[in-house]
Amino acid sequence: MQPTPSTGEQRSWAKATGFLVALYLVGLALIAGIVLVAGGKDGGGGSAGGSGGGTTIPVSLTEFKIDGQLMAPPGAVTLEVTNDGTMQHDLTIADLGKTTGMLQPGETVTLDLGPLDAGKYGVVCTVAGHEGSGMKATLEVAEGMEGMDHSGSSSSSSQAAAGGQDSTSGEGEMDYAKMDEDMIASFKAFPAKTKGVGNQPLDPTLVLPDGTKQFNLTAKITDWEVEPGKVVKAWTYNGMVPAPRIRLNVGDTAEFVIKNELPVNTDVHWHGITVPFDQDGVAPITQDPIKPGETFTYRFTVNKPEIGMYHPHLHGQMGLPNGMFGEIQVGDTPVVSNRTVSGVQIPADVKPVQDIPMILNDAGVIGFSLNGKSFPATEPIVVKEGEWVTMTYFNEGFQVHPMHLHQFPQLITAVDGIPLDQPYYADTVLVGPGQRFTVQFQATAKGTWVFHCHILNHAEREDGMFGMVTAVVVQ
Q: Cα 274 to chain center, whole Å?
A: 30
- Exposure string of 53-63, with b = 16+ CB inside 10 Å and e = fewer, is bbbbbbbbbbb
Let me know how long the chain is. Answer: 475
Least CB distance to Cu ion at residue 269 (A): 23
In three-state secondary structure terms, 281 is coil
Residue 404 Cβ vs Cu ion, minimum distance, rounded to whole Å: 10
* Closest to Cu ion by CB, 367 or 417: 367
| CA 134/CA 136 separation, integer angstroms | 6
Binding mask 444-463 toward Cu ion (x if CB under 5 A, else -) reads: ---------x-x--x-----
Mention every residue, 6+ apart, whose C-beta is less than 8 A from residue 286: 277, 278, 279, 280
Alpha carbon 39 to its chain's center: 38
AA letter at 107: E
Q: Which range in 50-58, 267-275, 288-296, 400-408 contacts Cu ion by CB under 5 A?
A: 400-408
In the complex with Cu ion, the residue whose CB is nearer, 139 or 453, is 453
Please tell me whether residue 213 binds Cu ion under the rule CB under 5 A.
no
- CB 322 to Cu ion: min, Å: 18
d(CA 82, CA 105): 8
Shorter beta-carbon distance to Cu ion: residue 41 or 458: 458
User: Shortest CA distance to 258 belongs to which of 229, 301, 228, 215?
Assistant: 215
Does position 401 interact with Cu ion (CB under 5 A)? The reply is yes
CB of 225 to Cu ion, least distance (A): 21
The nearest distance, CB 375 to Cu ion, in angstroms, is 12
Q: Closest approach of Cβ 401 to Cu ion, in Å?
A: 3
CB of 452 to Cu ion, least distance (A): 8
**Cβ atoms of 93 and 76 closer than 8 Å:** no
**CB-facing half-sphere around the CA of 112: CA atoms within 13 A:** 6
Q: Does 89 bind Cu ion (CB under 5 A)?
A: no
Residue 218 · residue 205 · CB < 8 Å:
no
State which residue, 412 or 453, has the beta carbon closest to Cu ion: 453
Total residues contacting Cu ion by CB under 5 A comes to: 4
Nearer to Cu ion, 231 or 356 (CB): 356
Residues 132 to 161 in contact with Cu ion, rule: CB under 5 A:
none
DSSP 380: P
x-or-dash string of contact with Cu ion, 235-264, rule CB under 5 A? ------------------------------
> Minimal distance in Å, beta carbon 179 to Cu ion?
21
- Which phi-psi region, left, alpha or beta, contains residue 343 (left: φ > 0; alpha: ψ -120 to 50)? left
First to last CA, the chain: 70
Given the rule CB under 5 A, which of 13-21, 67-75, 132-140, 401-409 is the region that contacts Cu ion? Answer: 401-409
Footprint of Cu ion (CB under 5 A): 401, 453, 455, 458
